[in-house]
Structure 1
Amino acid sequence: MTDLRHPIFARLYPRLDAATAKAGGSEHRAELLAEASGRVLEVGAGYGANFAHYPPEVTEVVAVEPEPRLRARAAALAARAPVPVTVRPGVAEDLDADDASFDVAVASLVLCSVRDPVRALAELRRVLRPGGELRYYEHVRGSTPGKVRFQRWTDVVWPYLAGGCHVSRRTDEWIAGSGFTVRTERRFEFPDTRGNPASPHVIGIAVRD
């Protein structure tokens, strides 16, 4: 199955993300992709918010998105991207790509919502060449007991409202334990507002062992 339909979320997300971009999200995406090069696979590309930030050293982007409304918007943005971008249906847990066929894989605010993040990471590792980079920008589990409790309670209902998103996942720990060596990682709060269960974020680069 390559289509996962979240029609309400798909309508709202581009508007919500536009507001987040003005608060600093656009700079985070630029940081994520700085100095990327070669052939890139982006999973969960959404409506294509990353496309404008790919540097010219990137020769091709294959962008996978399972939500059809978001995928259509991504295809429209791909036509205006500064590098060649092809948008395809698909899910991160079952990638239609050859082994070791990409130099870089990009996971941007998506591992929170895939059904099986450990399997998705195994697939990303499979399609990366040895020494290839996984670049990730994700919100993750908090670092204090109070935050974690708040996130667990939020996850009772949040995934049903936000396209399957979970706010309490240990995504950074799973990356480090999935056959990758973390080269750089920056942890930060964004947006740093009181009562935001999704504020703990990481941006990092991990290399396929």
Structure 2
Amino acid sequence: MAPFQNPFFARLFQRIGDRNEARGQAELRRELLAGLTGSVVEVGAGTGLNFAYYPDEVTGVAAVEPEPSLRSEARRVVASAPVPVPVSVVAATADRLPFEDGSADAVVVSGVLCSVADPVAALAEFARILAPGGELRFYEHVRSPQRVRALIQDAADLVWPRLMGGCHPNRDPLATMRAAGWLPVRWRELIFPYGAKISVVAPRVLGVARPASAREGGAPG
């Protein structure tokens, strides 16, 4: 089996993804992508759940997906569903993106920093391909600030990544961004599915970050 081939996770991803869209995640996707313009690279595009929500001001999306089954479904979505902007789907990984330095106005990730083997290397690639003034839009699982819930996430992390395509439920993406030289400039914490009390991936964060070298500060939204 190829390194990124995971048909079990691909089937599970599609099933869970469809259910979560009906639970209200579509609105979170709209929030994630609102206001984007120009050229966008979406890393870890999965089955293309974000595609329908890109604003018309986006001139094109290069959607990166390493898993073959998910990539095939994303291409089917582009070919058969109403997608408001041009989308190309490419095979690559977050730490080795096939794009020139400074070629993207924005990078988009949703459920990616929890699952890549080396999130710092991935964030370095995002910074490399961003044009001056570009930004990272992120929607990620987070380690819960509640001690008991965080301990449950730690316990789940022993088996969860094997079942869920490498997803670690207890990572802290905001801390990782800062350590990798990024500055989160706007974000909000949430629980999804709304009201969930058991799910180890319910604590989440949605927001915007820029390379710290841009020197643009901010505060939680």
Normalising by structure 1, what TM-score?
0.96
Q: Which residue of 2 aligns with 1:37?
A: 37
Q: Does the 8 Å contact 1:3/1:68 carry over to 2?
A: no
Q: Which residue of 1 aligns with 2:101?
A: 99
From 189, 192, 196, the equivalent of 2:191 is 189
CA drift at 1:92: 0.1
Q: In 2, distance between residues paired with 1:56 and 1:151? A: 38
Amino acid at match of 1:11: R
Q: Does the 8 Å contact 1:93/1:120 carry over to 2?
A: yes
Secondary structure of the 1:165 match is coil
- Identity score, percent: 46
CA drift at 1:3: 5.6
Q: Which residue of 1 aligns with 2:130?
A: 128
Gaps of 5+ in 1: none
Secondary structure of the 1:99 match is coil
The answer to whether residue 92 in structure 2 is matched with residue 90 in structure 1 is yes
Amino acid at match of 2:188: R
Distance 1:158 1:152, change over 3 A: same
Count of aligned pairs: 208
From 198, 205, 209, the equivalent of 1:202 is 205
Gaps of 5+ in 2: 215-221
The answer to whether residue 6 in structure 2 is matched with residue 6 in structure 1 is yes
Normalising by structure 2, what TM-score?
0.91
Q: Which residue of 2 aligns with 1:108?
A: 110
Root mean square deviation, CA, Å: 1.2
Distance 1:3 1:54, change over 3 A: farther
Write the deviation string for residues 88-121 of structure 1: whole angstroms up to 9, x where unpaired: 0000011111111100000111111111111101
The structure 1 segments of at least 4 consecutive aligned residues displaced by more than 2 Å after TM superposition are: 176-181
